[in-house]
Amino acid sequence: MSDVLLDFVRAARGTGIRISPAESIDAVQAMNALGWADRAALRDGLGLVLAKTAEEKAKLAECFDLFFARSDMKRPEAPEPEQRLPDQQAPSGAAGEPQGGGGSALGEMLRAGDLAELAARMERAAEQAGVRNISVFTQVNLYARRMLEQMGLRELDREIARGGPQAEQLRQGRDWLRGEARALVERNLALFARGETEKYREEMLRRARLSSLDRRDVERMRMLVRAMARRLAARYARPRKHARRGMLDARRTLRRNMPWGGIPFRTIWKTRKIEKPRLMVLCDVSGSVAAVAQFLLLFLWSLNEALSGLRAFAFSNRCIEVTEILNQLPIEQAGAEIMVQVGFGSSAYGASLEDFARTALRDLNHQTTVLILGDARGNRTEARADLLRDIADRAKQVIWLNPEHPMAWGTGDSDMPRYRPYCKLATHCATLDQLERVIEDLLRASA
């Protein structure tokens, strides 16, 4: 029965409940203590062991009821044995076998109306068919067919094909069995495919263009961005030192061993402190790039623990610093406020670079990375690439993220070829996967 409980734990994880291996072991011990006789007590006990919040308790109870549900196999049209017509009576000595022999075991159960045995055999067939491995709804008919074949569908089909007075009754029973098998598969789909479906949907969202997201997916995308940022922050936020193997720190070694007359009983090796990257972000929030900019700001502000001195600027036809807005307001409200102040205008990269240089050029140093998000389309205004050159000279590096494909750079009013020589990295960035890759490379490079 522990295998059944582990399947239940897998189904519970699919609903979003976080269950560790240690908690799974606790669940097995709770099951052994409570037993299976009192289902309500077992559900409450597992809720105490596995759920951490009221929301998780509700999800776990719903999952428990669905997992341990057993559908009542009621078939009003199925005749009871005593109600059979005289010509349907089985001959003596061959109880339950149709006249002429060759009857199937599944057909016999249908004629006898043995619902308990049919339910038990369907459960065994579901286990043999691996129905708990279902991942998408298009597999429902496939698994239902496999279950029926495990129960003996082929023999039943041959018995129906031979005809006879009970062929129509068996045909109706076969159709009813198909409905019951499909219902069982759909219940397993709701239990075990939820996590896989959510995972597949998240993978599709990670690869979707941020500028063309459906409104229904925006909130889910924000959750994804926060989760990715938390993962990167946990990896890169804590202070770290990198040991330089084989490099003896003679000065500190001598100082440490002064009590022993300078004899190096305790050696100290050189280490290099890993500094958090200092980052200044310039986001184009004009109409063509606004959606991507909002997700970049959300991503970076969720990474605050892993970054030092993060400052943000937003621009369209002018550039303003938005660091205080992002610090004082929740990120969704901050995004709306930024759009009100400077968003959805026509891009003027030259004027925006002038504003940025006037505000922040003196604060750049060799530890600062300047990250620019924009399509470099300045609507035929002056590009002022000389200002980007000055920024690149003072900063550690300039990274340009362009939502447009590189094939479009330099076409029409794109000034990307003028800016590109002053960027250490200029890359296409239109999806969440690409954004995460760039930010992780930036954090890794500081290690």
Mean pLDDT of 366-374: 90
Q: Are residues 58 and 107 in the same domain?
A: no
Cβ pair 141, 182 in contact under 8 A: yes
Q: Are residues 35 and 155 in the same domain?
A: no
Half-sphere exposure of 254 (CA within 13 A, CB side): 2
Q: Is 268 a domain residue?
A: yes
* Strand arrangement of the beta sheet that strand 278-284 belongs to: 319-321, 308-315, 278-284, 368-373, 397-402, 425-428
* Residue closest to 117 by CA, chosen among 78, 143, 83: 78
pLDDT tens-digit series, residues 293-305: 878 888 877 776 5
Q: Is 88 a domain residue?
A: no
Q: Are residues 167 and 248 in the same domain?
A: no
Q: Is 82 a domain residue?
A: no
Q: Are residues 313 and 389 in the same domain?
A: yes
pLDDT tens-digit series, residues 40-85: 888 888 888 888 888 888 888 888 888 877 655 555 454 444 444 3
Q: How confident is the model at residue 236 (pLDDT cuts 50, 70, 90)?
A: low
Note the pLDDT of residue 446: 61
For residue 391, what are the contacts with CB-CB under 8 A and spacing of at least 6?
Answer: 353, 356, 357, 361, 364, 370, 398, 422
Element (H, E) at 140: helix 140-151
Q: Let me know the angle formed at the C-alpha of 346 by 223 and 436, rounded to the nearest 5 degrees.
A: 30
Note the pLDDT of residue 256: 85
Note the pLDDT of residue 14: 77
Mean pLDDT of 196-222: 74
Q: Is 233 a domain residue?
A: no
**Which of 14, 49, 67 is the last residue in one of the domains?**
67
Q: Are residues 268 and 299 in the same domain?
A: no
Note the pLDDT of residue 388: 95
Cβ pair 319, 286 in contact under 8 A: no
Note the pLDDT of residue 163: 79
Q: Are residues 328 and 382 in the same domain?
A: yes
Q: How confident is the model at residue 197 (pLDDT cuts 50, 70, 90)?
A: low
* pLDDT mean across residues, the chain: 80
Length of the chain: 447
Note the pLDDT of residue 358: 94
**Which of 158, 192, 207 is the last residue in one of the domains?**
207
pLDDT at residue 2 above 90? no
Note the pLDDT of residue 208: 81
Mean pLDDT of 97-123: 74
**CA-CA distance, 419 to 375, in Å (whole number)?**
11
> Does pTM top 0.85 for this prediction?
no
**CA-CA distance, 126 to 115, in Å (whole number)?**
16
Q: How confident is the model at residue 92 (pLDDT cuts 50, 70, 90)?
A: very low
Note the pLDDT of residue 359: 92
pLDDT tens-digit series, residues 276-335: 668 899 999 887 677 788 788 888 777 765 566 788 999 988 999 999 998 888 877 888
For residue 271, what are the contacts with CB-CB under 8 A and spacing of at least 6?
Answer: 241, 242, 243, 244
- 340 vs 96, more confident: 340
pLDDT tens-digit series, residues 116-134: 788 888 888 888 888 888 8
* Domain, as residue range, for 162: 101-207
Cβ pair 227, 261 in contact under 8 A: no
pLDDT at residue 18 above 80? yes
Cβ pair 426, 286 in contact under 8 A: no
Cβ pair 17, 59 in contact under 8 A: yes
Q: Is 432 a domain residue?
A: yes
Q: How confident is the model at residue 86 (pLDDT cuts 50, 70, 90)?
A: very low
Q: Are residues 322 and 438 in the same domain?
A: yes
